[in-house]
Structure 1
Amino acid sequence: MFARDPAHAIELIDKAFQEADVDTLVSLYDDAAVLISTELAPGREIRGKQELRDFYARVLQPGAFSVAQIKTHVVEADGIALFTSRWSLSREGAPTKSFIATVVFRQQPDGGWKDLIDSSPAVLGH
């Protein structure tokens, strides 16, 4: 999957996450990626594509989650982009939660963008 810019990468990541499409989701991460998810894996850093694949294969099920970007901002410099957002996560039988995400993207040699560091640790009150 080719993400033409960081905002497009987030769209593709969100879609793959909601569809529980683990292969596409993992393909949107850099080989050296780190994921910090206090909601789904408290206290863990998930590193590299194999750990990402194992993690997402365990937690994702089609239709189990819905994500929505509420407000986003991107700053880009020299092939690195900092993406910050307020987003929501909904799952069946649980109240919707709002988070702040900080994601670092790295531009790849082919011009596409991949997720290098993905962190959404701050739960916001409603």
Structure 2
Amino acid sequence: MKTAKTPQEVHAVLAAAFNTKNLDVIMNVYDANGIIFPEPRKEVSGQSQFVEAVKSICAVPGVMEIKTVYCLQSGDVAVGRSEWSITDKGKTQVAAKGIELMKQQPDGSWKIIIDHAFGAEANLVA
């Protein structure tokens, strides 16, 4: 399984993982003890709920693409801003602007600990 060696690689590794539709490959990009927002204003944490949230995202047909808007690193933590979409047969199924908090792991790889997939949307209030 490919892991991100730098925080700047996390978005590309995440998109490639989602495109496999393989839960183990996707979960390798995340710290499952973290937080994910599979929908606007829907915070999910805890291993079983996290896995269910990832499964629901995988159920969306199509190919995920993630553009890194920026990635700022300080030591073993980084914050990224993304623009992402899932497109199927030329039709956008879902698209949003996200914010991701990443942490370097003991093995040197980087994982997402908070994935606020809709966190940079202009109309979203926390």
**TM-score bucket of the superposed structures, by smaller chain:** 0.7 to 0.9
Deviation at 1:59, TM superposition (A): 4.3
Corresponding letter in the other structure for 2:20: E
Q: Which runs of 4+ in 1 moved over 3 A?
A: 91-98
SS at match of 2:17: helix
State the percentage of identical aligned residues: 21
Distance 1:69 1:54, change over 3 A: closer
Q: How many residues of Structure 1 are paired with residues of Structure 2 in the alignment?
A: 120
Is the deviation greater in 115-124 or in 91-100? 91-100
Gaps of 5+ in 2: none
Corresponding letter in the other structure for 1:65: G
Match of residue 99, structure 2, among 102, 118, 125: 102
Q: Is the 8 A contact 2:36 2:114 kept in 1?
A: yes
SS at match of 1:45: strand
**Equivalent residue for 2:71?**
74
SS at match of 1:37: strand
Is the deviation greater in 113-122 or in 7-16? 7-16
Distance 1:89 1:31, change over 3 A: closer
**Equivalent residue for 2:28?**
27
Structure 2 CA distance, aligned partners of 1:114 and 1:77? 15
Q: Is the 8 A contact 1:34 1:116 kept in 2?
A: yes
1:73-110: CA deviation from partner (whole Å, max 9, x where unpaired): 11000210000022223246954543211000001111
Gaps of 5+ in 1: none
Structure 2 CA distance, aligned partners of 1:47 and 1:117? 9
Match of residue 53, structure 2, among 39, 52, 55: 55
**Equivalent residue for 1:46?**
44
Corresponding letter in the other structure for 2:105: Q
Deviation at 1:16, TM superposition (A): 1.6
SS at match of 1:109: coil
SS at match of 1:36: strand
SS at match of 2:42: coil
**Equivalent residue for 2:7?**
6
TM-score normalised over the length of structure 1: 0.77
